[in-house]
Structure 1
Amino acid sequence: MVSEKDFIASNLAATPENGNFQWSAPSNIALVKYWGKKAHQIPANPSISFTLNSCKTITNLAFAKKENDGNFSFDLLFEGQPKEDFKPKIQKFLERIAIYCPYLKNYHFTIDTQNTFPHSSGIASSASGMAALAMNIMSLEKTLNPEMTTEYFYQKASFLARLGSGSACRSVKGSVVVWGNHAEMENSSDLFGVEFPAKLHDNFMNFQDTILLVDKGEKQVSSTVGHDLMHNHPFAEQRFAQAHHNLSAIQSVLENGDLEAFIQIVESEALTLHAMMMTSLPYFILMKPNTLEIINKIWKFRNETKIPICFTLDAGANVHVLYPENVREACLQFIKDELVGYCQNGQYICDAIGTGAINIL
């Protein structure tokens, strides 16, 4: 079984003076939600997500040798402009991964990052951002240790990404990714995400995700605070047990293509996530009136047309509308006619299942 110690860098033979790498990494949307964590970014329950394709972060990492003075040295640019308020998060990330990547203190880094989706669009960029940065760091490590296997490269990238943002470990590799120990999921781990171990049914190939931007404001509750609210939550243990059960159920569904069962699990998971926030102390309602209007419209449309369209939610007001590719035209027409009016400034993003991080440079 893989342990944290296996990710401490060794056999670093090469010492490049400078260079740069560039990776893109996508956002992802959980079907069975991860909510609640233990120390060191370990999930309280397993989760499974669809990797997105278009909503991604593109990060360029330039590095130059420096004296190892025991400190990290980096400049951070967002869309080419210095972004000082992002720096503390990156500093914290580097401190967390220092034991696994001791070579980082030998270099000065220039991190230049951009998103393909609008900044402050209400789409969480920490998953894609941390995954993209982790991929670049692993490219540097691969240069230092050319013997590294591809499997180790991706496994450690997911491991590092998790230490930046838990769900980032699901944005590294694969169309459907499982994170967290689960008895029935082969090779599943709390330490990194793994590709869904079975063949995905044709119904879920190129599955569509239209993201309705209901509220583009600052997150009402940070993910860290939200996860912490699960400590001493009166329903926490039942929720964790439910997640294990739902992950077992959705594994069969993704293999057999049962869209009705898929809808039931995914919508129930979304509403459970929000129920946990509503029943925590302090308590929060993260949905907006327009979120509820959209949900009711989707239910009505599905009931009337029998088209297998459904929703899921993150810890916020925006709605991810999920549907198979073969009903794309009808669903998009419905979204334009009935749902876009509930979006802030009529904004929405069309996306679909992707495959994970891509090496650009």
Structure 2
Amino acid sequence: MKATAKAHPIQGLVKYHGMRDEQLRFPYHDSISVCTAPSHTKTTVEFDPDRAEDHYQIDNKEVDGRGAERIKSVVDHVRDLAGIDHSVRFVSENSFRTNIGFGSSASGFAAAATALAEAAGLDLTQPEISTIARRGSASAARAVTGGFSHLYAGMNDEDCRSERIPVADDFADDLRVVAGMVPSYKETEAAHEEAAESHMFQARMAHIHKQMQAMRDALRAEDFDSVFGIAEEDSLSLAATTMTGPSAWVYWQPRTIEIFNTVRELRDNGVPVYFSVDTGASVYVNTTADHVDEVEAAIADCGVETRVWRVGGPAQILDESEALF
């Protein structure tokens, strides 16, 4: 009863913010994202009837507190679905820096849910596995289905699940994401908890459905400027909501703003490039294969570490030779 899985983190394009149910993590509205590769999380799990208690480890550190509670919520759901009560050993590793705004909880819980379902002997589709991953992080549902994916809002597992959005191969293959790493620790869960208390939240809710449809139409039309222009606009809308909540979360740092300005200068000079941020200081910079070298050099000149990512696929089971233990 052992399995290993890999999943890619996500860049939110139309982001969800806030949850109707904090335990089952039902978001207030739909969301769309794209997975970024080769960045990934790899997770090995084993259900062992002889183990006395669960053990969770991420990046060589034992997990406790709220982190362990979130993992346990996913593990317990899989145990319920499979009708088993075995304790689990859970070991996970990330190939990229975490907690700086690059979707590590999404890839983490997507890999966890996929590995757990396999180890427990569950025969599930990826949208079904996405409902397991969602219990750890709503964004993880989209990391399960991979590529460009749509998480539907709802108040049950039949409605609140992720599905892959069909996108032309040439459009996906041409996308390059320059990651501008601004290493400022962020805490997303607290911002979600108070989302509805912002006076900007209802304004966001009023336009988000139109935003979702515009994004789907732009993806269908393979319209790069519209897709990533909407993502840039949505980033600013999300920030307006988090900044006007009770805790007045301000995640951006001076280099975040410098990257924004650099992107806009490049675009004024005819380069197809747009910025996007989730809840964090780090920045996704979306461009095309023809312009990625120029864009990466400009972002690096802002004094930040960079990576270049492409569109990542769905979560997948790995061969036992790739197990972490």
Specify the code of the residue in structure 2 equivalent to 1:269.
Answer: D
Post-superposition offset of 1:92: 3.9
Distance 1:176 1:45 in 2: 17
Which one of the candidate residues 19, 26, 44 is aligned to 2:8?
26
Aligned positions of 1:147-296 closer than 5 A: 148=123, 152-181=124-153, 190-196=159-165, 198-200=166-168, 202-214=170-182, 216-219=183-186, 222-296=187-261
Post-superposition offset of 1:95: 4.3
Specify the code of the residue in structure 1 equivalent to 2:181.
Answer: L
The two structures have a TM-score, normalised by structure 1, of 0.80
Post-superposition offset of 1:275: 0.9
Specify the code of the residue in structure 1 equivalent to 2:136.
Answer: G
Specify the code of the residue in structure 2 equivalent to 1:179.
Answer: L
CA contact (8 A) 1:49 1:177 kept: yes
Specify the code of the residue in structure 1 equivalent to 2:68.
Answer: K
The question of 1:349 aligning with 2:307 is answered yes
Which digits, 9 at most, give the CA deviation of each residue in 1:141-182, with x for residues without a partner? 3x3x5xx3xxx3322210000001110000112311000249
SS where residue 77 of structure 1 aligns? strand
SS where residue 206 of structure 2 aligns? helix
Partner in structure 2 of residue 3 of structure 1:
none
Aligned-CA RMSD value: 2.4
The two structures have a TM-score, normalised by structure 2, of 0.88
Change (3 A) 1:274 1:98: same
CA contact (8 A) 2:47 2:88 kept: yes
Distance 2:158 2:275 in 1: 27
Specify the code of the residue in structure 2 equivalent to 1:313.
Answer: V
Residues paired across the two proteins, number: 314
SS where residue 129 of structure 2 aligns? helix
- Can you give the 5+ residue segments of structure 1 that lack an aligned partner in the other structure? 1-18, 183-187
CA contact (8 A) 1:32 1:47 kept: yes
Which one of the candidate residues 335, 339, 349 is aligned to 2:299?
339
Post-superposition offset of 1:201: 6.8
Post-superposition offset of 1:21: 0.8
- Percent identity at matched positions? 22
Distance 2:3 2:245 in 1: 43
Which digits, 9 at most, give the CA deviation of each residue in 1:50-100, with x for residues without a partner? 111212110011222249xxxx83122334554446434323443456544
CA contact (8 A) 2:5 2:111 kept: yes
Change (3 A) 1:124 1:95: same
Post-superposition offset of 1:324: 2.2
Aligned positions of 1:34-113 closer than 5 A: 34-39=16-21, 40-66=24-50, 73-80=53-60, 82-84=62-64, 86-95=67-76, 99-103=80-84, 105=85, 107-113=86-92
SS where residue 342 of structure 1 aligns? coil
Post-superposition offset of 1:253: 0.8
Greater C-alpha Rg: 1
